[in-house]
Structure 1
Amino acid sequence: MARLLVVVPSDTDPPTRLGEWLTGAGLELDERRLSTGEPLPADLTGHDGLLVLGGPQSSLDDDTVSPELVGVRHLLGQAVAADVPTLAICLGAQLLAQVGGGSTRVGVDGPEVGPTLVAKRDAAEADPLFAPLPLSPDVVQWHHDEIDRLPAGATLLASNPRYPHQAYRVGAHVYGLQFHIETDEHLVRQWADSDAVGVASTGTDVETVCAAAAAVHPDVAEVWAPFAGRFAALVRDRAAARG
């Protein structure tokens, strides 16, 4: 069975529904929770793909503030160098942009929080994961930093008017998503209860944000569960090629 290394930088963002979709698509998940001290492997030997999730850490944190991200950056750099099938979400996507030669900063338009739409770019129509998506799929946002510059040669796959670098690909198989597709109602409630600044940026309140997310979760699953299946196929293909 193809093995996917799942890096969980914070217990506040486990794989949740995304993990279920990937397991259902035939992957074995090797989950490493950094907040409980679980070690990361030194390299990706023995794994056929990589998933990096989000967390409250900032991509701008240095090694003394968030030392647990040192190993995450190392693995993402290896994935880029070897074009290992990778899905990096929110904080993961920001770290991926950095190691690939791009950059991040505090979001110039403030936090982006709650359900919204992103729009596929023209290049998405030639991408094996993004081509089947609807033109403007539902997603859940929860970030304070932004990717202000993509790595050189990266392919922009989705944008929105507020923050243009919503999804991108490095090489052929390494993907970054600024938004979330893994959330469920419990996870959004946890985030809303712990992020007063983010909720305030919406101009509403915790209950409104949670209700709005709950309303779009079925649509998120309808669109992004098949996307997860297509990503799993990349991981299985790499496993087969490796023998």
Structure 2
Amino acid sequence: MRPFLFLGVRPEDAPADDEYDAMLRCTGLDESTLRRVRLEAAPLGVVDLDAWSGIVVGGGPFCVSDPEDDKSAVQRRVEADLSRLLDAVVPADKPFFGACYGIGTLGRHQGGVVDRAHPEPVGAVTVELTAAGRADPVLGVAPPRFGAFVGHKESLSVLPAHAVLLASSPTAPVQAFRVGRHVYATQFHPELDADGLATRVEAYRFDGYFDPTEAADVVAAARTSGVRTVPPVLRAFVERHLHPRTDSGSGRGVLRDEIGAAQG
């Protein structure tokens, strides 16, 4: 099989390594089949799309809506690398899944509006699938409503005109969307559990997501939120592109059975 490519953007080792471990766990892949490249460490270079089954982009402290003069050289280079990658990915309809930072990157690239109108504090939210989301072969493995962890200063306030809205939350109108048949992005973190959230809270305590003196309260609220795991949308994304099946139907099947304990 061709491996998947995971592109990380976190400069801090602890949350970067924890995120990669979570991606391995949630995709069901191992280090040989989900290969990591840390974009903040070095330029991406040319990606041969035919060498990969798909591409996953993780989250991080960068915001595409930051004023250009406030962006570091690394952030500007990462954004340029991802923009060039999407120039190839989207026309080819190459399997792509962007989480959190990935939704801003894909949304802006495709002509949507990414701004600070709908931030969500670090913690749990209720995500609700649209009719298109319930019918989608990736998002459709989730229940119509489920809990997930978020934490972002920016979000997509206007969807690209050609994109399909898959999920929303009460505080952010765009929680997931799709372009074409195989290019996905989510605002919520499909890989994140309470332990991972605690790692990120410690790493980004002074980055403006919350009052630093309230870090312990943020973690405690996450642990008592009832969100133990997110439905296996990453596993569905991987399995769809490892073992292609028809795109009709809701995407519910054997993966749908994995959700009960997590949501009960």
Fold shared per TM-score above 0.5: yes
Match of 1:73 in 2: 83
**How far has the Cα of 1:64 moved from its partner?**
6.0
Aligned length: 232
Aligned CA distance change for structure 1 residues 24 and 39 (closer, same or farther; 3 Å): closer
Match of 2:8 in 1: 8
Match of 2:250 in 1: none
Aligned residues: CA RMSD = 2.6
Match of residue 134, structure 1, among 143, 147, 153? 143
Segment drifting more, 211-220 vs 76-85: 211-220
Match of 1:49 in 2: 54
Q: How does 1:204-215 map to 2 (within 5 A)?
A: 205-215=214-224
Distance in 1 of aligned mates of 2:186 and 2:56 = 11
Match of 1:241 in 2: none
Aligned CA distance change for structure 1 residues 16 and 49 (closer, same or farther; 3 Å): same
**How far has the Cα of 1:231 moved from its partner?**
0.6
CA contact (8 A) 2:125 2:148 kept: yes
| TM-score, scaled to structure 1 | 0.84
* SS state at 2:166 partner: strand
**Aligned residue identity for 2:65:** L
**Residue by residue, what CA displacement relative to the aligned partner does 1:29-72 show, whole Å, maximum 9, x if unpaired?**
12101233263434423112010111101112448641122111
Match of 2:210 in 1: 199
CA contact (8 A) 1:43 1:78 kept: no
Match of 1:167 in 2: 176
Distance in 1 of aligned mates of 2:192 and 2:134 = 26
**Aligned residue identity for 1:231:** F
Segment drifting more, 19-28 vs 43-52: 19-28
Match of 1:229 in 2: 235
Unaligned runs of 5+ in 2: 245-264
* SS state at 1:69 partner: helix
**How far has the Cα of 1:159 moved from its partner?**
0.4
**Aligned residue identity for 2:151:** W
Q: How does 1:93-104 map to 2 (within 5 A)?
A: 93-104=103-114
Distance in 2 of aligned mates of 1:185 and 1:213 = 6
**Aligned residue identity for 1:89:** A
CA contact (8 A) 2:123 2:150 kept: yes
Distance in 1 of aligned mates of 2:141 and 2:30 = 17
* SS state at 1:159 partner: strand
CA contact (8 A) 1:9 1:35 kept: yes
| TM-score, scaled to structure 2 | 0.78
**Residue by residue, what CA displacement relative to the aligned partner does 1:55-110 show, whole Å, maximum 9, x if unpaired?**
101112448641122111221232211111111000111100111121201x2254
**Aligned residue identity for 1:102:** G
